[in-house]
């Protein structure tokens, strides 16, 4: 339970409920209790502090009425999202894309989050069944420490999947399985060495930027054109690595054409020790034309480090990502990182392996591709009504698209007007990194992955009221 | 499946089975196929290469007879452990403590591994039941991305457990849950900063040394006396952090008395920015006297970073560790590392939480403590027969003890003589780090966690033959 020992000061002249209220409020203001965190129930609070339940309730009511906490039926009390307070205290921007569902629900009628996914079609019963089978077949072996790179059989399965669906050329030996992209990047830091000069597109995926920034990496941002990272910019930047998302760049949605891919590979091949880090994060979802193979598929010289995840294609809570290392880096991994133990439990690996091997993954992907396409198409249809003053880009793949206003509204005008109607859209500038003082654009991101068709209609109706 | 495309060279004048045999042998010698890795079945190999099954069998038989691979009934073919070859190629020592069960089983009658644990009493059916309940109660919420620090309710549970069992003072806010100690140390690197001068006991836990070594940390080794890390040595070392295992040092088994603990804390309090990293890795198992609280329990100034794991106390495959940060470092974590996402799936966290909250964990710990004590006591009894020429230290806690010969045999004499009888014991010098040229001791580690009582008797009978 939340630490309440310091809550009550004997000898205080304030009454009990006020002391409790002030203590919790202070904890929230100082960020010790964070948005989304659950408070103890009034009953356990009362028991713990040896006070009456009505005193506890009184304190909570005060916090509720002042908006510090919120209650949800049968779930208890949660700390509210308070952007202004939070920013004031930490000097940091909130991580908009990853706000918890509770907070979202509390504040917005409709949230076009670019990172939300749709779990409504997830075959829970299949997952449960596989889980049950794995747990009942496996005995103690499953609970033993596994291979540091990930179970060999899972790596075989992933390598087959990557080959058939993304054209990735790799043996299971080249694959490292880890608990999320962040962990794999931490490992990659140990493989590539401490002092890497890395190029990132601008705008880019902020989380990756923050992670490279927490390394000793020297980050150079390179502008994008309609085909992706500018190779001219890359050549001027004197870097040894470049982080790219060729299949659907985040946030711009740009699909990198083959010509640009070959130019990037050419750059990488020109000097020893150059690498391209390919983040293929939502490549599974493409709604027009043929699937586009990965950049790694065109790499003949071992210059591409390929990273992908099941967090997006199956469920955010599936903490399984994979990294495909070129042979040279694989050797370095084996020499320098062999002592880092596995981060994904064997059982979870086995469940995932069977989910893929039994064909459920492919079926699920097909279903979701169809479902996301419906949302995507509806969104495009409805946006057509917005007229020529709003330009759509980045469509046809992934789980979001971009909308650029041409009526003179700035990005923040658009975001604020939407917010006033209870709709959340995301400014493109949130993904700008490095250089300050960019001129304000007028582009917002609309994610549709987590919304139902009716939500999309409702949200767009509100946006029309807000913007037109 | 293992990448076999390059296996067959058309135009070779060798017969098919020889080509296959030579190719696989080469892969093993070069470390591309690693010890414990599974080879494809003869049937799938035959199918894949479009050759007859008998040709595939012939190639495998050759590898079997030369000792490159081994077969296990119903399980298939595995690459053998070949220490000499492996060392030759990588220049690295094998990680003895973590060899896979398959390799152990293949080579030794009895393996006194200091890292093995006993899973025979694990309540699989309870674990399955909880798993099933969690999966059937929870719907999509469980599959959503969770709190980066770990689910709040699990952190509440851990904080209660740590308080009651280890005297650790912390709120759930101070706890960070991660997929194993290695991940938490990677995170700690980002919190403490890149250039830390750290002291480690010598000998110490090699894996932690390797990990700090893979950071930019400057490691100073400090000698140990019978009370643990020498504070004099620490003072001379000009470090800002020290990594210690006060409840049962690995490998020496030293229990740090309260006096030394207070001296260490005094050192930490003397200058700003000094920290003690307490790895409390097998503190759950203590067989004589009262449980000893953690070092963190004596820390009043926020100088101890406390790390523990369920991999040891529940099962190696439970990839859940926890780190308790002092307030100052917690603030730094929130500012500098808030973007690192959770590494343990929500479902796994929920299962673990219920396992603890429902009392199963405590019951299991009590059971295992009793069981490990039986093994420990038997080992001590039997070792008493070895006479005064063998001194036992590091007993009464943990899952291993140390045996020092006084008949002039060196450590490697002891290890080799044991090996000749099919018994594996571990030289203390494997845990020596840093400085080369230590004089050879005559101390070996005997781990008993993974052995049955009968194994222990049999192993000791063989050791008696080997050494006496």
> A317, B32: Cβ pair inside 8 Å?
no
Residue whose tokens read 């062999």: A338
Rg of chain A's alpha carbons, rounded to an integer?
Answer: 25
> A339, B37: Cβ pair inside 8 Å?
no
Helix intervals (H) in B75-143: 83-90, 101-107, 124-137
Residue A92 near chain B (CB below 8 Å): yes
The residue of B26, B97, B340 whose CB has the most chain A CBs within 10 angstroms, and thus the best one to mutate to test that interface, is B340
pLDDT at position B401, please? 96
CA-nearest residue to B344 within chain A is A319
State how far the Cα of B91 lies from the Cα of B113, in Å rounded to an integer. Answer: 23
Q: What is the pLDDT of residues B104-146, one digit of tens each?
A: 444 688 999 998 989 888 898 899 999 989 988 766 677 777 8
Among residues of chain B, what percentage have pLDDT more than 70?
Answer: 88
A70 phi/psi in degrees, rounded to 5 = -135, 155
Q: In the 3-class helix/strand/coil scheme, how is A27-75 assigned residue by residue?
A: HHHCCCCCCCCEECCHHHHHHHHCCCHHHHHHHHHHHHHCCCEEEECCC
Residue whose tokens read 């064997």: A346
Q: Which of A211, A337, A342 sits opposite B214 (nearest CB)?
A: A337
DSSP E strand boundaries for A97-160 = 110-111
State how far the Cα of B63 lies from the Cα of B21, in Å rounded to an integer. Answer: 7
Q: How far is A44 from chain B (nearest CA, A)?
A: 13
Is cis: bond before B203, omega within 30 of 0?
yes
Residue whose tokens read 């298939």: B76
pTM score, two decimals?
0.78
Q: Which residues have C-beta within 8 Å of that of residue A140, sequence separation ≥ 6? A: B119, B120, B122, B124
Q: Give the helix, strand, coil percentages of chain B, each rounded to 5.
A: 45, 15, 40
The residue of A179, A336, A346 whose CB has the most chain B CBs within 10 angstroms, and thus the best one to mutate to test that interface, is A179
State how far the Cα of A131 lies from the Cα of A137, in Å rounded to an integer. Answer: 10
pLDDT at position B34, please? 80
User: Do A29 and A89 meet the contact criterion of CB atoms below 8 Å apart?
Assistant: yes
B145 phi/psi in degrees, rounded to 5 = -65, 135
Q: What is the pLDDT of residues B147-158, one digit of tens each?
A: 999 999 999 999
| B36 chain-A contacts, CB cut-off 8 A | 147
Residue B29 near chain A (CB below 8 Å): no
State how far the Cα of A352 lies from the Cα of A161, in Å rounded to an integer. Answer: 12
Q: How far is A319 from chain B (nearest CA, A)?
A: 6
pLDDT at position A85, please? 42
pLDDT at position B69, please? 81
Q: Select from B328, B276, B286, B278 the least CA-distant residue to B308.
A: B278
State how far the Cα of B403 lies from the Cα of B314, in Å rounded to an integer. Answer: 27
Residue B216 near chain A (CB below 8 Å): yes
pLDDT at position A195, please? 86
pLDDT at position A4, please? 55
CA-nearest residue to A152 within chain B is B37
pLDDT beyond 80 at B12: no
pLDDT at position A65, please? 62
State how far the Cα of A189 lies from the Cα of A180, in Å rounded to an integer. Answer: 15
Kind and range of the H or E element at A279?
strand A275-279
pLDDT at position A129, please? 92
Q: Select from B253, B275, B238 the least CA-distant residue to B205.
A: B253
> A172, B317: Cβ pair inside 8 Å?
no
pLDDT class of B73 with cuts at 50, 70, 90:
low
State how far the Cα of A252 lies from the Cα of B410, in Å rounded to an integer. Answer: 66
Q: Indicate the burial class of A278 (C-beta count within 10 angstroms; 0-12, 13-18, 19 or more).
A: buried
pLDDT beyond 50 at B83: no
Q: Which residue has the higher pLDDT, A7 or B318?
A: B318
Residue B44 near chain A (CB below 8 Å): no
Q: What is the pLDDT of residues B162-207, one digit of tens each?
A: 998 899 999 999 999 999 999 999 999 999 988 899 999 999 999 9
Residue whose tokens read 């072996």: A141
Between the two ends of chain A, the Cα-to-Cα distance in Å is 49
Three-state DSSP at A86 gives helix
- What is the layout of strands, in order, in the sheet containing B304-309? B175-178, B321-324, B304-309, B275-279, B241-244, B197-202, B218-225, B228-229
pLDDT at position B120, please? 87
User: Do B35 and B79 meet the contact criterion of CB atoms below 8 Å apart?
Assistant: yes
Residue A317 near chain B (CB below 8 Å): yes
Rg of chain B's alpha carbons, rounded to an integer?
Answer: 24
Burial A189-218 (b: 16+ CB within 10 A, else e): bbbbeeebebbbbbbbbbbbbbbbbbbebb
Per-residue pLDDT of chain A (468 residues; tens, 9 = 90+): 445 545 555 555 567 777 888 888 877 777 777 877 888 888 888 877 778 888 888 888 777 766 678 777 667 888 877 543 433 333 333 333 444 444 444 468 899 999 898 988 889 889 999 998 998 876 667 787 789 999 999 999 999 999 988 999 999 999 999 999 999 999 999 999 988 999 999 999 999 999 999 998 999 999 999 899 999 999 999 999 999 999 999 999 998 888 999 999 999 999 999 999 999 988 889 898 777 889 999 999 999 999 999 988 888 888 999 999 999 999 999 999 999 999 999 999 999 999 999 999 999 999 999 999 999 999 999 999 998 999 999 999 999 999 999 999 999 999 999 999 999 999 999 898 876 555 678 999 999 999 999 999 999 999 999 998
CA-nearest residue to A129 within chain B is B132
Q: What is the mean pLDDT of chain B?
A: 86
Residue whose tokens read 């469509």: A395
HSE on the CB side for B432, CA within 13 Å?
14
Residue A315 near chain B (CB below 8 Å): yes
pLDDT at position A89, please? 33
Q: Which two tokens stand for residue B38?
A: 């599974």
Residue B125 near chain A (CB below 8 Å): no
Kind and range of the H or E element at A336?
helix A327-336
Residue whose tokens read 């042998």: B25
State how far the Cα of B256 lies from the Cα of B227, in Å rounded to an integer. Answer: 5
Residue B205 near chain A (CB below 8 Å): no
User: Do B205 and B248 meet the contact criterion of CB atoms below 8 Å apart?
Assistant: no
User: Do B166 and B175 meet the contact criterion of CB atoms below 8 Å apart?
Assistant: no
State how far the Cα of A225 lies from the Cα of A234, in Å rounded to an integer. Answer: 12
CA-nearest residue to A115 within chain B is B145
Residue A129 near chain B (CB below 8 Å): no
State how far the Cα of B207 lies from the Cα of A128, in Å rounded to an integer. Answer: 36
Measured at the alpha carbon of residue B192, what is the angle toward residues B436 and A27, in degrees to the nearest 5?
150
Tally the residues of chain A.
468
Between the two ends of chain B, the Cα-to-Cα distance in Å is 49
Q: Indicate the burial class of B390 (C-beta count within 10 angstroms; 0-12, 13-18, 19 or more).
A: buried
pLDDT at position A36, please? 78
> DSSP letter at A19?
H
State how far the Cα of A135 lies from the Cα of B201, in Å rounded to an integer. Answer: 40
Residue B132 near chain A (CB below 8 Å): yes
pLDDT at position B288, please? 83
CA-nearest residue to B89 within chain A is A335
pLDDT at position A447, please? 96
The CA–CA distances, whole Å, from B126 to A134, A191, B121, B131, B357 equal: 15, 40, 12, 8, 13
User: Do B201 and B228 meet the contact criterion of CB atoms below 8 Å apart?
Assistant: yes
A334 phi/psi in degrees, rounded to 5 = -70, -30
The CA–CA distances, whole Å, from A238 to A206, A221, A268 equal: 22, 11, 12
State how far the Cα of B38 lies from the Cα of B36, in Å rounded to an integer. Answer: 6
A238 phi/psi in degrees, rounded to 5 = 55, 45
User: Do B211 and B189 meet the contact criterion of CB atoms below 8 Å apart?
Assistant: no
> B345, A147: Cβ pair inside 8 Å?
no
Q: Which of B92, B120, B206 sits opposite A140 (nearest CB)?
A: B120
Q: Which of B2, B141, B334 sits opposite A172 (nearest CB)?
A: B2
CA-nearest residue to A98 within chain B is B145
A76: left (phi over 0), alpha (psi -120 to 50) or beta: left
Q: Which residues have C-beta within 8 Å of that of residue A120, sequence separation ≥ 6? A: A452, B140
Q: Which residue has the higher pLDDT, B358 or B100?
A: B358
Residue A23 near chain B (CB below 8 Å): no
DSSP E strand boundaries for B301-425 = 304-309, 321-324, 390-393, 400-405, 423-424
Measured at the alpha carbon of residue B385, what is the angle toward residues B379 and B390, in degrees to the nearest 5?
80
Q: Which two tokens stand for residue A209?
A: 């930027």
CA-nearest residue to A328 within chain B is B32
Q: How far is A193 from chain B (nearest CA, A)?
A: 9
Q: Which of A135, A141, A340 sits opposite B131 (nearest CB)?
A: A135
Q: What is the pLDDT of residues B286-303, one digit of tens each?
A: 898 777 889 999 999 999
HSE on the CB side for A404, CA within 13 Å?
10
Q: Which two tokens stand for residue B156?
A: 């509440």
Q: What is the pLDDT of residues B227-239, one digit of tens each?
A: 999 999 999 999 9
State how far the Cα of B120 lies from the Cα of B284, in Å rounded to an integer. Answer: 18
Three-state DSSP at B15 gives coil
> B346, A317: Cβ pair inside 8 Å?
yes
Task: Please state, as a whole number, how many other Cβ atoms lie within 10 Å of the Cβ of residue B36.
Answer: 19
Task: Please state, as a whole number, how many other Cβ atoms lie within 10 Å of the Cβ of residue A395.
Answer: 19
> A34, B173: Cβ pair inside 8 Å?
yes
Q: Which two tokens stand for residue B335?
A: 């500012």
pLDDT at position A86, please? 37
Q: Which of B98, B317, B346 sits opposite A143 (nearest CB)?
A: B317
User: DSSP characters for B177-236?
Assistant: EESSHHHHHHHHHHHH-S--EEEEEES--HHHHHHHHHTT-EEEEEEEETTEE-HHHHHH
Measured at the alpha carbon of residue A117, what is the angle toward residues A455 and A200, in degrees to the nearest 5?
120
Residue A125 near chain B (CB below 8 Å): no
């Amino acid at each position: 339970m939340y630490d309440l020992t310091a809550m009550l000061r004997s000898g205080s002249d304030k009454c009990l409920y006020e002391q409790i209220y002030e203590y919790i409020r202070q904890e929230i203001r100082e960020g010790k209790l964070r948005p989304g965190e659950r408070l103890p129930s009034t009953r356990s609070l009362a028991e713990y502090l040896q006070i009456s339940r009505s005193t506890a309730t009184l304190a909570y009511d005060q916090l509720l009425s002042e908006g510090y906490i919120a209650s949800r039926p049968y779930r208890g009390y949660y700390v509210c999202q308070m952007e202004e307070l939070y920013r004031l205290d930490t000097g940091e921007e909130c991580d908009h894309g990853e706000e918890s569902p509770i907070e979202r629900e509390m504040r917005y009628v409709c949230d076009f989050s670019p990172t939300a996914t749709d779990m409504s079609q997830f075959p829970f019963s299949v997952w449960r069944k596989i889980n049950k089978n794995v747990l009942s077949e496996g005995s103690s072996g499953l609970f033993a420490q596994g291979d540091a790179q990930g179970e060999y059989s899972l790596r075989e399965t992933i390598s087959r999947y990557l080959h058939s669906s993304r054209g990735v050329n790799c043996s299971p030996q080249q694959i490292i399985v880890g608990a999320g992209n962040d962990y794999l990047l931490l490992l990659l830091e140990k493989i590539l060495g401490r002092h890497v000069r890395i190029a990132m597109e601008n705008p880019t995926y902020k989380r990756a930027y923050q992670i490279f920034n927490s390394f000793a990496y020297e980050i150079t941002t390179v502008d994008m054109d309609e085909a992706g990272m500018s190779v001219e910019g890359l050549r001027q930047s004197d870097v040894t690595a470049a982080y790219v998302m060729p299949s659907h760049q985040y946030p711009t949605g740009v699909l990198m054409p083959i010509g640009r891919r070959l130019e990037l590979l050419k750059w990488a091949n020109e000097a020893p020790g150059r690498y391209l880090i390919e983040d293929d994060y939502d490549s599974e979802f493409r709604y027009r034309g043929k699937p586009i193979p990965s950049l790694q598929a065109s790499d003949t010289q071992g210059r591409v480090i390929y990273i992908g995840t099941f967090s997006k294609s199956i469920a955010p809570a599936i903490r399984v990502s994979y990294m495909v290392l070129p042979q040279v880096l694989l050797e370095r991994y084996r020499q320098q990182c062999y002592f880092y133990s596995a981060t994904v439990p064997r059982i979870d690996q086995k469940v995932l392996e069977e989910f893929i091997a039994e064909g459920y993954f492919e079926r699920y992907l097909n279903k979701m591709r169809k479902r996301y396409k419906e949302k995507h198409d509806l969104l495009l249809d409805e946006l057509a009504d917005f007229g020529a003053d709003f330009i759509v880009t980045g469509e046809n793949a992934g789980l979001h698209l971009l909308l650029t206003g041409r009526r003179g509204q700035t990005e923040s005008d658009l975001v604020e007007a939407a917010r006033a109607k209870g709709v959340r859209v995301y400014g493109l500038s949130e993904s700008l990194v490095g250089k300050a003082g960019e001129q304000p654009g007028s582009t917002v991101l609309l994610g549709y992955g987590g919304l139902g068709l009716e939500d999309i209609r409702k949200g767009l109706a509100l946006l029309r009221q807000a913007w037109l």
